[in-house]
């Protein structure tokens, strides 16, 4: 007696005893009748044994028919796979736009996370995906715009790192925390000033980011960071947004730091916009001329001397060193000679 001569109910009971996908698949290939009988069971076993070969194949080959049959079997798109991932996370890491949307439309959970704590929203903001439309869709579906990974990174940090202003704006409009700190205690604005993304910095400041927020370990503010990065446009934006021009980072105000760094355009702009040379002496007695002597920039020294008397060249710091002696110590001999000539 062959299987196909038995009543359908009995055939289904026999089929239910088959537990290997390969066995069920082989039997389903016998004829159309067997296929119709076995197809749902085939997909169910594939799902319940965490193999998900059918789903993987459908998504990899963008096969809507197989995906439809998988859907008709009533299977759970959020079940864990054998490699401890879920289909949505796997599709996004593979960079598959088609698969990602298909899985979302199957009802995938957008609040799940991978073993690093990254949610689908984190991945949508990351450098190898960057899909503003997908970000907006997930936010509209209630994705947490301030979810943190194990490294304390939010989606906003990831969007900033890849420089996508459209995604940053979408996150901020949906409540992303612009003051959230990573594991080093740095806020998004610190990250932005390092990479010089003025447009993104402007978005953060418009949504209330603090332009004078210090890094917890060093006291470095976004303005100090922008000076070290040499971004005059960023510096202008921060100052116009109220950045503290007296804040100190390792005892250096922004002007002192710009002088030491030899940032001619930055020093000139700061002095032209009212930054006072005389008030930028730190607690060690270091003046802007001392700082310029450390950096060795003749032009910065000349600019400073246009805003203060030449006798400042002889003013010592708390250790008794004048700008001339500092230039000599740092082996800026031509600068030291120029200073001596000005003193004499």
**Residue ranges in the chain modelled with pLDDT below 50:** 48, 50
Specify the CATH number for the domain of residue 311.
1.25.40.20
Residue 321 within any structural domain of the chain: yes
pTM of this prediction exceeds 0.85: no
What is the rounded distance in angstroms from the CA atom of residue 276 to the CA atom of residue 181? Answer: 33
Report how many domains make up the chain: 1
Residue 161 within any structural domain of the chain: no
Residue 105 within any structural domain of the chain: no
Look at the chain and count its residues.
344
Quick one: pLDDT at residue 48? 46
Element (H, E) at 107: none
What is the rounded distance in angstroms from the CA atom of residue 143 to the CA atom of residue 145? Answer: 6
Quick one: pLDDT at residue 230? 92
Residue 127 within any structural domain of the chain: no
- Domain interval for residue 317: 251-344
Residue 86 within any structural domain of the chain: no
What is the rounded distance in angstroms from the CA atom of residue 196 to the CA atom of residue 185? Answer: 20
Quick one: pLDDT at residue 81? 64
What pLDDT, in 10s, does the model give residues 47-92?
A: 545 455 666 766 776 867 767 776 776 667 887 766 567 889 888 8
């Amino acid at each position: 007696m062959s299987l196909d001569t038995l009543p359908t109910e009995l055939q289904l009971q026999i089929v239910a005893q088959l537990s290997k996908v390969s066995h069920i698949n082989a039997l389903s290939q016998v004829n159309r009748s067997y296929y119709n009988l076995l197809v749902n069971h085939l997909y169910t076993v594939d799902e319940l044994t965490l193999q998900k070969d059918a789903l993987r194949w459908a998504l990899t080959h963008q096969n809507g028919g197989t995906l439809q049959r998988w859907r008709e079997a009533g299977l759970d798109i959020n079940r864990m796979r054998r490699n401890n991932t879920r289909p949505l996370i796997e599709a996004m890491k593979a960079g598959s736009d088609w698969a990602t949307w298909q899985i979302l439309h199957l009802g995938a959970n957008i609040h799940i996370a991978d073993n690093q704590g990254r949610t689908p929203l984190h991945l949508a903001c990351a450098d190898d995906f960057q899909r503003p439309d997908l970000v907006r869709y997930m936010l509209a579906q209630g994705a947490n715009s301030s979810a943190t990974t194990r490294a304390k990174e939010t989606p906003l940090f990831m969007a900033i790192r890849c420089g996508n202003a459209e995604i940053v704006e979408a996150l901020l409009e949906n409540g992303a925390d612009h003051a959230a700190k990573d594991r080093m205690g740095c806020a998004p604005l610190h990250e932005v000033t390092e990479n010089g993304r003025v447009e993104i910095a402007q978005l953060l400041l418009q949504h209330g980011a603090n332009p004078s927020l210090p890094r917890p370990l060093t006291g470095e503010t976004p303005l100090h960071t922008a000076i070290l990065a040499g971004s005059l446009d960023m510096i202008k934006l921060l100052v116009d947004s109220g950045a503290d021009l007296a804040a100190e980072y390792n005892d250096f105000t922004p002007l002192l730091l710009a002088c030491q760094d030899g940032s001619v355009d930055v020093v000139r702009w700061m002095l032209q916009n009212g930054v006072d040379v005389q008030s930028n002496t730190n607690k060690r007695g270091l003046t802007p001329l001392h700082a310029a002597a450390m950096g060795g920039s003749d032009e910065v020294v000349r600019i400073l001397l246009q805003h203060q008397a030449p006798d400042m060249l002889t003013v010592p710091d708390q250790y008794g060193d004048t700008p001339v002696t500092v230039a000599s110590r740092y082996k800026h001999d031509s600068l030291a000679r120029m200073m001596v000539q000005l003193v004499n």
